[in-house]
């Protein structure tokens, strides 16, 4: 691999190669915005918003500045009181739980299934108290949490469901007869257009989705300084916008999203076929009812040699990542909310077992072969 040209080098996410493939479309869309100089809330934002509504089959998409803001304004829209409890996963990116704390709500972290790495509905149920108001299922690495069970619990206990759909845009959930896109099943769905996400901008971006007209109206007001009419403010909101250049780029990429996700699935199938017979690793397990669009391709290394494998791959010029090395109930930032002795054995175990391999839309067969051969040789030694 040492002698490979820079453009052939294996990347964790190859944004440059993807841009090269779509360059003429993207450049034209950007030029359009620059020539109009309509940089904030220009027509490109409206166009992208309505195309995404159509793609997701959801009544409302409210664009905002990033996925973290989307989660924050979603919670702000629900009229919660300080101390209200929000149940979510301990095995996720910090943003999911950070916004709960920022709003003076109480994060209640529960364990995940070791195979799908998503919320265990029975654990959610055990954590429900009279103060519980919201559940945030995280659709981790590109596949859904058990939405059927979670929606059932939410209905039974009168809870809101805010889906963290930052890693799963485009994945469907349900039966053949009734399939919905993840992020449109709960009361509000939140996504991120961070460059490395499945639908990535050339900077930050995010959005909330909802089928509820009142919630949509509230979220629109909240992202715009709590204002419906310019210079009149009903509540304290935030300033969170998707800018027109990002919207124009995203609108081009949205047309390719299904193709992007198919390319990721093809790469995952390649990896699965090579790794499924290695005893020391577990390949991704797909949640019943969910599609998997492989935001990450994450193996579990079962023999305690995950860190050896990570170093071995680095030496072969293969980037890999550990998502996530520390579950959130162990993070210092949350120590005020989480009991010291809280044990979530699956999340703790996963943080020592997981390793994510290069996964993007531009992986060549040659690269997949090189990566999987290296992983295999790791277990021969």
Instruction: Tell me the closest approach of the beta carbon of residue 323 to ligand PLP, in angstroms.
Output: 9
Q: Which residues contact 280 (CB under 8 A, 6 or more apart)?
A: 301, 302, 303, 305, 379
**Quick one: which of 14, 85, 164, 291 contacts ligand PLP (CB under 6 A)?**
164
Tell me: does residue 206 bind ligand PLP (CB under 6 A).
Answer: yes
**What is the Cα 107 distance to its own chain's centre?**
19
Residue number closest to ligand PLP, CB atom: 67
22/15 Cα distance (integer angstroms): 11
**Quick one: which of 67, 121, 186, 237 contacts ligand PLP (CB under 6 A)?**
67
Q: What residues does 191 pair with on adjacent strands?
A: 207
272/286 Cα distance (integer angstroms): 12
248/27 Cα distance (integer angstroms): 10
Residues 99-158 binding ligand PLP (CB under 6 A) are: 138
Closer of 142 and 358 to ligand PLP (Cβ): 142
**Quick one: which of 92, 146, 224, 261 contacts ligand PLP (CB under 6 A)?**
92
Instruction: Tell me the closest approach of the beta carbon of residue 206 to ligand PLP, in angstroms.
Output: 5
Tell me the three state secondary structure of residue 343.
coil
Residues 223-282 binding ligand PLP (CB under 6 A) are: none
- Only one of the segments 9-17, 66-74, 179-187, 342-350 lies at the binding site for ligand PLP (rule: CB under 6 A); that segment is 66-74
Contact by Cβ (8 Å): 175, 289 = yes
Instruction: Tell me the closest approach of the beta carbon of residue 231 to ligand PLP, in angstroms.
Output: 29
Tell me: does residue 96 bind ligand PLP (CB under 6 A).
Answer: yes
Closer of 136 and 281 to ligand PLP (Cβ): 136
* Residue matched to tokens 């089928």: 211
17/360 Cα distance (integer angstroms): 10
Q: How many residues bind ligand PLP (CB under 6 A)?
A: 15
The two structure tokens encoding residue 345? 């054995």
Contact by Cβ (8 Å): 74, 105 = no
Residues 183-202 binding ligand PLP (CB under 6 A) are: 192, 194
Closer of 124 and 145 to ligand PLP (Cβ): 145
Q: Which residues contact 93 (CB under 8 A, 6 or more apart)?
A: 166, 323, 324
- Only one of the segments 62-70, 153-161, 227-235, 364-372 lies at the binding site for ligand PLP (rule: CB under 6 A); that segment is 62-70
- Only one of the segments 72-80, 92-100, 171-179, 221-229 lies at the binding site for ligand PLP (rule: CB under 6 A); that segment is 92-100
Instruction: Tell me the closest approach of the beta carbon of residue 28 to ligand PLP, in angstroms.
Output: 26
Distances in whole angstroms, Cα of residue 136 to Cα of each of 142, 237, 238, 324, 350: 16, 21, 21, 18, 20
**Quick one: which of 62, 95, 199, 374 contacts ligand PLP (CB under 6 A)?**
95
242: left (phi over 0), alpha (psi -120 to 50) or beta: beta
Tell me the three state secondary structure of residue 321.
strand
- What value, to the nearest 5°, has the Cα angle with vertex 92 and ends 301 and 268? 50
Instruction: Tell me the closest approach of the beta carbon of residue 141 to ligand PLP, in angstroms.
Output: 9
- Only one of the segments 65-73, 260-268, 298-306, 354-362 lies at the binding site for ligand PLP (rule: CB under 6 A); that segment is 65-73
Tell me: does residue 167 bind ligand PLP (CB under 6 A).
Answer: yes
Closer of 167 and 184 to ligand PLP (Cβ): 167
Q: What residues does 122 pair with on adjacent strands?
A: none
Tell me the three state secondary structure of residue 318.
coil
Query: Which residues in this chain contact ligand PLP in the complex, by CB under 6 A?
Result: 66-68, 92-93, 95-96, 138, 164, 166-167, 192, 194, 204, 206
């Amino acid at each position: 691999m040492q002698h490979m040209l820079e453009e052939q080098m294996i990347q964790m996410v190859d944004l440059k190669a993807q841009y090269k493939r779509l360059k003429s479309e993207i450049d034209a869309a950007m030029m359009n915005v620059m020539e109009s100089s309509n940089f904030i809330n220009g027509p490109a934002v409206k166009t992208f918003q309505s195309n995404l509504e159509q793609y997701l089959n959801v009544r409302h998409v409210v664009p905002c500045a990033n996925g973290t803001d989307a989660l924050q304004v979603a919670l702000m829209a629900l009229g919660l009181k300080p101390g209200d409890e929000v149940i979510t996963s301990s095995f996720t990116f910090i943003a999911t739980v950070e916004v709960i704390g920022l709003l003076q709500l109480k994060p209640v972290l529960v364990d995940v299934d070791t195979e799908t790495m998503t919320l265990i509905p029975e654990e959610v149920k055990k954590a429900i108290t009279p103060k519980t108001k919201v559940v945030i299922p995280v659709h981790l690495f590109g596949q859904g949490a058990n939405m059927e069970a979670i929606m059932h619990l939410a209905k039974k206990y009168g809870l809101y469901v805010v889906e963290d759909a930052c890693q799963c845009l485009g994945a469907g959930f349900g039966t053949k007869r009734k399939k919905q896109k993840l992020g449109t099943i709960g009361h509000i769905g939140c996504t991120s257009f961070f460059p490395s996400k499945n639908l990535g901008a050339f900077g930050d971006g995010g959005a909330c989705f909802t089928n509820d007209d009142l919630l949509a109206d509230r979220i629109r007001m909240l992202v715009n300084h709590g204002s419906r009419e310019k210079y009149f403010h009903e509540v304290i909101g935030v300033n969170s916008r998707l800018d027109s250049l990002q919207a124009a780029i995203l609108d081009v990429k949205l047309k390719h999203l299904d193709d992007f996700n198919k390319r990721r699935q093809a790469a995952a199938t390649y990896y699965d076929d090579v790794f499924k017979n290695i005893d020391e690793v577990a390949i991704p397990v797909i949640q019943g009812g969910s599609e998997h669009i492989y935001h990450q391709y994450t193996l579990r290394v079962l023999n305690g040699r995950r860190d050896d494998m990570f170093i071995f791959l680095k030496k072969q010029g293969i980037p890999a990542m550990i998502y996530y090395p520390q579950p959130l109930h162990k993070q210092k930032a949350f120590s005020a909310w989480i009991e010291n002795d809280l044990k979530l054995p699956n999340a703790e175990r996963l943080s020592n077992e997981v390793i994510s391999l290069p996964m993007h839309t531009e992986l060549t067969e040659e690269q997949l072969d090189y990566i999987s051969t290296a992983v295999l040789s790791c277990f021969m030694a």
